[in-house]
Amino acid sequence: MLDRTKILMQNNNFWLGAKKEIGDVWRWLSGVTMSPLPLENDNDREYSIKCVLVYQGAPDDATCAAEVMHVCEITF
C-alpha cells in the first residue's frame, strides 16, 4: 500500500486541504495552524496564491481555482 501511495504522490497533483490567511499564516481546513512547509515554488508574492497542493510529489502553493484532484478523488 505504501509503494502505491508513493507512486500516486509522484504522478498526480492533489490538494492538501490548507489555505493561506492574512499574513503568512497557513491553516488546515479544520482551522489548525500548519507547520511551515518547504514549498516547491514559493509564489507568495501573487495575491491569488492561497492554497496548498502536492505538485509532482512536493508541497506547492497555488491559486485555489486550479483544477486539481482532492485526495478522496484518486482511484486505486
pLDDT tens digits, 39-76: 655 555 555 678 888 887 788 888 888 888 777 655 55
Mean per-residue pLDDT, 26-50 = 72
Q: Set out the domains of the chain in order of their start, with CATH numbers.
A: 2-73 (3.10.100.10)
Beta-ladder partners of 53: 15, 60
H or E element, residue 60 = strand 58-63
Pairing of strands 26-28, 14-20: antiparallel
